[in-house]
Amino acid sequence: MTTSTTPAPPGIAVRRSPVRGVLVGVAIAVAFVLVAVLVFAVTRTPERSEDYLSPTSGSPDGARAVVNVLRDQGVDVQIATSLAEVRALSGGTDPRLNPATTTLLVYDYFLVLGSDQRQELLGLADRIVAMDPWDDELVDLAPGVVVDFDAQRGSYPVDCDLPAAVQAEEVDGYPYGYDVSDADNPALGCFETADDTYAVVQTETDGTEVVIVGVSQAFTNGSILDAGNAALALNLLGQDETLVWYLPGLEELDSGDIPTPQSLTPPWVTPVIVLLLLVTLVAGVWRGRRLGPLVAEKLPVIVRSNETMEGRARLYERAGAREHALDALRVGTITRLATTCGLPRRSTVDEVIAAVAALTGRERDAVADLLIDRIPTGDAELVKLSDDLLVLEADTTRAAHGR
């Protein structure tokens, strides 16, 4: 079976379906999400293993090589996994471990430390080296500094006078950039990744020197020999007599603030969601239905009422549905009789029978038998009953009009 479509006549506007407009909008939004995910997958930094920056791990992601060299150079490297251990190391009875001669490296990979704990860290060491800090960490350790995730993998030459950076000359890796344009305290940026954005930032908070390192990969065993990574790591971490290497574990959640979804969500997610909503809305308005003047449309086929009636009668006859046909005849007759007798639309069948009997002078049981009770047993009786209904209707009409 084939079908053909007829083009719309001139002057008649074609209306777009609103469902189609919504589907187009959703398709555009999905395409945009796929593009965003692809771009993020290509540009994001690699996934980090569980032993990333571990001072005891010899894997490519560990940092045992830097720790061993520092110890060979006379630096007392202490490892801490809890804030209590940091307190003991930085404020204990050992004269070697005091805040004035201690560098504290902090890498809070799980973001388990709360604001109070980070504020406490500022008083436990002479210098704090924060590895890849995020928004909440920066609020406490370097107010006004903002993290930027758009930096690309590459080698970045030195462009500052920070001694450790000058000796490194350049650094190589996947950096996080840090925007210092709105820093609350004076900040020195090194290894620029964008305008006013740097991979290493030196500042001071509450009297403690804070060094923000966004190129933590340079400190790992697998990248320590690239470019000037080794010089940067050794000179940055070996300035004091003692280095406390602090990697907070999940158990610190008992003393810290549990991270919120907002703190764990990259800053580009919210703008992308808002943009997707706007794109969907604009696409729906653009491709959706437009309200305009009514358009006249010719029906393809005009079916006369008598043809419809005859067709339905043939269907009843073919199916032997005499009672259905009789019900249709009686309903039509009762409706017209009620109108002829001047009865309201909600009148019952009994009220119609009583009114018809009173007008025509027929017996009430005879009228009831004709309108309700009689059941034909064959087509001939059905035709006879149909004729009797017509006669009853004609007699009622003449009686009502006094003819």
Going along the chain from its start, the domains and CATH numbers come out as 64-259 (3.40.50), 305-400 (no CATH)
As a whole number of angstroms, the distance between CA 212 and CA 134 comes to 10
Q: Residue 247 carries which side chain, given as an amino acid letter?
A: L
The sign one gets for the Cα dihedral 249, 253, 256, 257 is positive
Cα separation, 222 vs 203, whole angstroms: 29
Torsion of CA 338, 342, 345, 349, to 10 degrees: -40
Q: Residues 344, 350, 352, 354: is their CA dihedral positive or negative?
A: negative
Kindly state the DSSP code that residue 76 receives in the 8-state scheme. Answer: E
Q: Which residue has the higher pLDDT, 278 or 283?
A: 278
- Report pLDDT digits (tens) over 34-85: 666 665 554 444 455 678 999 999 899 999 999 999 999 999 999 998 888 8
Alpha-carbon span 368 to 382, nearest angstrom: 16
DSSP H helices, 92-174, are 115-121, 135-141, 163-168
Nearest Cα to Cα of residue 219 among 247, 240, 242, 193: 247
pLDDT computed for residue 234 by the predictor: 94
- pLDDT tens string 371-389: 888 888 887 888 888 888 8
Q: What DSSP element (H or E) covers 189?
A: strand 188-194
Among 273, 270, 266, smallest CA distance to 147 is for 266
Percent with pLDDT over 70 in the chain: 76
Helix (H) or strand (E) holding 11: none
What pLDDT is recorded for position 276?
87
Distant-in-sequence, close-in-space partners of 211: CB < 8 Å, separation ≥ 6: 127, 128, 129, 130, 200, 201, 202, 236
Axis-axis angle for helices 379-400, 349-360 (nearest 10):
70
Sorted by sequence, the CB contacts under 8 Å of residue 370 that are 6+ apart come out as 385, 388, 389, 392
Helix (H, G, I), strand (E, B) or coil at 240: coil
For CA atoms 48, 49, 54, 56, the dihedral sign is negative
Q: How far apart are CA 332 and CA 20, in angstroms?
A: 44
Give the helix/strand (H/E) hosting 212.
strand 208-213
Report the pLDDT value the prediction gives residue 402, as an integer from 0 to 100. Answer: 73
pTM for the whole thing?
0.53
| Average per-residue pLDDT for the chain | 80
pLDDT grade for 323, boundaries at 50, 70 and 90 = confident
**The pLDDT of residue 24:** 59
Give CA–CA dist 217/48, Å, rounded: 10
- pLDDT higher than threshold 50 for residue 324: yes
Tokens 């069948």, residue located: 349
Do 217 and 225 form a contact (C-beta atoms < 8 A)?
A: no
Q: Cβ distance 130 to 104 under 8 Å?
A: no
Identify the DSSP state of 26: H
